[in-house]
Amino acid sequence: MERTKKDCPAENRRYRRIAIAVSCMVLILAVGIVGFGLTREKTQKKAQKINMADTEAKNVWCESARFNALTLSEDQKINGIVDQYYKDLAQKERFVESYNNIKVYTKNGQYKDTYVAFVRYGMKIKDIYTEVPGLETLFVAKDGTSGEYRIDKEGLDEQTGKFIKSVAEHEDVQTLLTQSRNDYKTAVESDALLREALIDLKNAYDSPQ
Please tell me the predicted confidence (pLDDT) of residue 208. 61
The share of the chain scoring above pLDDT 90, in percent, equals 51
Q: Is the dihedral of CA 71, 74, 80, 83 positive or negative?
A: positive
Taking all residues of the chain, what is their mean pLDDT, rounded to a whole number?
78
Please tell me the predicted confidence (pLDDT) of residue 172. 97
Provide mean pLDDT across the span 153-177. 92
Q: Is the dihedral of CA 88, 91, 96, 100 positive or negative?
A: positive
Please tell me the predicted confidence (pLDDT) of residue 44. 43
Please tell me the predicted confidence (pLDDT) of residue 3. 47
13-22, 70-79, 113-122, 172-181: least confidently modelled range: 13-22
Please tell me the predicted confidence (pLDDT) of residue 204. 62
Q: Which DSSP symbol is given to 35? A: P
Nearest to 101 by CA among 137, 140, 134: 134
Please tell me the predicted confidence (pLDDT) of residue 197. 72
**Strand order across the beta sheet in which 71-72 lies:** 71-72, 96-108, 114-125, 132-142, 149-152
Tens digits of residue pLDDT in 10-69: 554 444 444 444 444 443 443 344 444 333 344 444 444 444 444 447 898 999 999 999
**pLDDT above 70: residue 71:** yes
